[in-house]
Amino acid sequence: MFSLVLHSHLPWLANHGRWPVGEEWLYQSWAGSYLPLTSMLSRLADEGRTNLLSLGITPVLAAQLDDPHCLSGMHHWLGNWQLRAHEAQNRELSTREHRSASAALHEFETHWRHGGSGVIRTLVDSRAVELLGGPLAHPFQPLMDPRLRQFSLTEGLSDAQGRWGTRPCGIWAPECAYAPGMENEYATAGVTHFMVDGPALRGDTSLGRPVRDSGVVAFGRDLSVSYRVWSPKSGYPGHAAYRDFHTYDHDTGLKHARVTGRTVDSADKAPYDPAAAAAAIDKHVLDFVDAVRMRLREESARIGRPALVVAAFDTELFGHWWFEGPQWLEKVLRALPEAGIDIGTLEDARTRGYVGAPTQLEESSWGSGKDWRVWAGEQVHDLVTLNSEVVLAALDAIDKNRGPSGGGQPELRNRTNDQILRETLMAIASDWAFMVSKDSAAGYARERAHIHAHASREIADAVSRGQGERAAELAAQWNRADGLFPSLDARRLRTERSYCRDGETE
């Protein structure tokens, strides 16, 4: 069986800059990836096709796809795209981009104007996709305080329940990061399966593997197949005929050139040719189907039973980074069954027995070196220290600020504590360390981490000083700036005493 897994994620960008890093990143991904991919999946669902892929959507991205400010900004962005198409001097480019912008506007106004939840829920309810959840704000879980890690995961799964009417039993752990013992937390939260990178299973990804004695299954990404599409050095998107991501018309921002060659300067790139790109798509569809078929045969022969191949990618690769990606993906999802290859979700693989012997999974991620260096290395030592300090101050303040719950009296909701947690989770998002380690808008990433860390510490400090009214005022002000996850409730953060007691019992 073949399983395709897509991981959809962007950090919280609303009201935190526009360009070159900020909301523009969200709107480009929305227009380039989320609109065409959901439209494509809807077409396939209308044909009665089910269990096409496992679709991970992080809570922080889902929040933006439902946010009124982001929805309004996206509508303006699509209109501006149409205007930029009018301004293009090249007639062919102008016509092509105007047609694309008009189609995107129609899709957005018809299906998205009230948020993304309705669009995604339709795909889930029709069984076109399996929904994968995850923790709030995309943290690097192995480095988290266990109490906060547990809270973040359960809140993230509850957020999915509220948006889509289903609580995911599978997750894409942020950065595919894992530390021994997390499988028990997954089991407690009702998670039955999760993704890791291939090397975490020592390259043996032909079956899912229960982790130790938890019963929670780890599925590994098959690198030999996944890297045909996207790898650090090669892959289909680099083909000469495809539209070049990095080259654009400076007057309009529209992308008018093809890759042409990996060493060709932007000024020397050839004009984009849709017909040549279409021919390359067909070629790469056939190549991918052949690669999957060969890998399934090899692995089935090796293990002496039907094997599983899992290919996993960032959703934003398809359309945003690789313009032709959505077209390629639709053709692949049609071509695989036509070639006699069974496709299904990770949940299908688990329930249909594509599971082998338990594994003693060790520390891993899907980052450089497949270890934790991107998020815990020397280059981001300052952020690791900042995160530890912020979390410690936040949990200490919340523990001191919780109202009495004894004597039959319920603990009342405390919006101050809620905001401390909200800002803390935003501060420790894995995106900031990733962007610094990869030198991708590192200044913006550090600024974002420090903004949220300052907010958390400012509120926590007022609490610690016994300044309850001041803390509540600060919490309200920061919430007006970033009020995502309105259902986040600090009362569901386990007290230190109860967590330690249960830990000792276990």
Chain segment 94-120, per-residue pLDDT in tens:
999 999 999 999 999 999 999 999 999
What string of DSSP letters covers 236-293? GGGSTTSBPSS---TTT----BB---TT--GGGPPBP-HHHHHHHHHHHHHHHHHHHH
Q: What is the pTM of this model?
A: 0.95
Domain spans in the chain, listed from the N-terminal domain onward: 2-134+172-361, 373-505
Tokens found for residue 109: 């106004």
What is the signed CA dihedral for 443, 445, 450, 452, rounded to 10 degrees? 150
Q: Is 322 helix (H, G, I), strand (E, B) or coil?
A: strand
pLDDT higher than 80, residue 496? no
Q: What is the pLDDT of residue 506?
A: 39
Under a CB-based contact definition with an 8 Å cutoff, are residues 375 and 367 in contact? yes
What's the pLDDT tens digit per position in 308-346?
A: 999 999 999 999 999 999 999 999 999 999 999 999 999
Q: What is the mean pLDDT of residues 299-304?
A: 98
What is the chain's length? Answer: 506
Residue 270 to residues 23, 181, 454: CA-CA distances in angstroms? Answer: 30, 53, 48
Question: What is the gyration radius of the CA atoms in the chain, in angstroms?
Answer: 23
Within this chain, domains 2-134+172-361 and 373-505 share the same CATH topology:
no
Q: What is the mean pLDDT of residues 271-300?
A: 98
Nearest-angstrom CA–CA distance, 415 and 472:
7
Nearest-angstrom CA–CA distance, 428 and 176:
16
Under a CB-based contact definition with an 8 Å cutoff, are residues 359 and 210 in contact? yes
Q: Which long-range contacts (CB under 8 A, 24 or more apart) does 39-47 make?
A: 39/107, 40/326, 40/329, 40/330, 41/123, 41/128, 41/129, 42/122, 42/123, 42/128, 43/330, 44/128, 44/330, 44/333, 44/334, 45/122, 45/123, 45/126, 45/128
Q: What is the pLDDT of residue 405?
A: 58
| CATH class belonging to 373-505 | mainly alpha
Q: What is the pLDDT of residue 498?
A: 58
Q: What is the pLDDT of residue 504?
A: 45
What is the share, in percent, of the chain residues with pLDDT greater than 90?
A: 94
Catalytic residue among 24, 185, 249, 314: 314
Q: What is the pLDDT of residue 74?
A: 98
Q: Residue 161, Cβ neighbours under 10 Å: how many?
A: 14
Under a CB-based contact definition with an 8 Å cutoff, are residues 37 and 319 in contact? yes
What's the pLDDT tens digit per position in 363-422?
A: 999 999 999 999 999 999 999 999 999 999 999 999 999 976 556 678 899 999 999 999
Q: What is the mean pLDDT of residues 177-204?
A: 97
Q: What is the pLDDT of residue 403?
A: 79
What's the pLDDT tens digit per position in 50-62?
A: 999 999 999 999 9
Enumerate the β-bridge partners of residue 171: 133, 194
- Topology (CATH) of 2-134+172-361: 7-stranded beta/alpha barrel (3.20.110)
Query: Tokens 């603990």 correspond to what residue?
Result: 411
Enumerate the β-bridge partners of residue 257: 271
Q: What is the pLDDT of residue 261?
A: 94
At residue 233 the predicted structure's pLDDT band, cuts being 50, 70 and 90, is confident
Q: What is the mean pLDDT of residues 205-216?
A: 98
Q: What is the pLDDT of residue 381?
A: 97
Catalytic residue among 66, 97, 159, 175: 175
Q: What is the mean pLDDT of residues 33-50?
A: 98
What's the pLDDT tens digit per position in 428-469?
A: 999 999 999 999 999 999 999 999 999 999 999 999 999 999
Residue 464 to residues 262, 387, 443, 458, 459: CA-CA distances in angstroms? Answer: 57, 19, 31, 10, 9
Q: What is the pLDDT of residue 257?
A: 97
Tokens found for residue 132: 């994968």
Q: What is the pLDDT of residue 500?
A: 55
Q: What is the mean pLDDT of residues 251-271?
A: 95
pLDDT higher than 70, residue 49? yes
175 is catalytic: yes
Q: What is the mean pLDDT of residues 170-191?
A: 97
Tokens found for residue 234: 């090669």
Q: What is the mean pLDDT of residues 182-187?
A: 98
Average pLDDT, the chain: 95
Task: Indicate the helix (H) or strand (E) that contains 373.
Answer: helix 373-376
At residue 499 the predicted structure's pLDDT band, cuts being 50, 70 and 90, is low
Q: What is the mean pLDDT of residues 165-176?
A: 96
Half-sphere exposure (Cβ direction) of 108: Cα atoms closer than 13 Å: 25
